Structure 1
Amino acid sequence: MTLEIPAIGIFSKSNIQGKKIAGKLLTRYLKKSVMLYG
């Protein structure tokens, strides 16, 4: 159990960072598409 807990913590942190990066890329893409087609 002691090995599983920190692994879950690392996974959740990296998951949150991944969501933030994906959000940034998505907003950039949406802004570009709005500038091109809006």
Structure 2
Amino acid sequence: MSKEQFEEWYILLLEAKRMGLTIEDIRKFFRTSITGLR
């Protein structure tokens, strides 16, 4: 993972936490986006 990608994910995580998403929600989203990229 490049530094730019990491920063994008970090910002997404902060936004998600601000919106009140749980770690589980983030994990689910992370999994679907990873499988969607393949």
Q: Based on CA coordinates, which of the two structures has the bigger radius of gyration?
A: 1
Q: TM-score, normalised by structure 2?
A: 0.50
Choose between structure 1 and 2 for higher RCO, CA contacts under 8 A separated by at least 6 residues: 2
Give the number of the structure whose residues are more often helix, by fraction. 1
Q: TM-score, normalised by structure 1?
A: 0.50
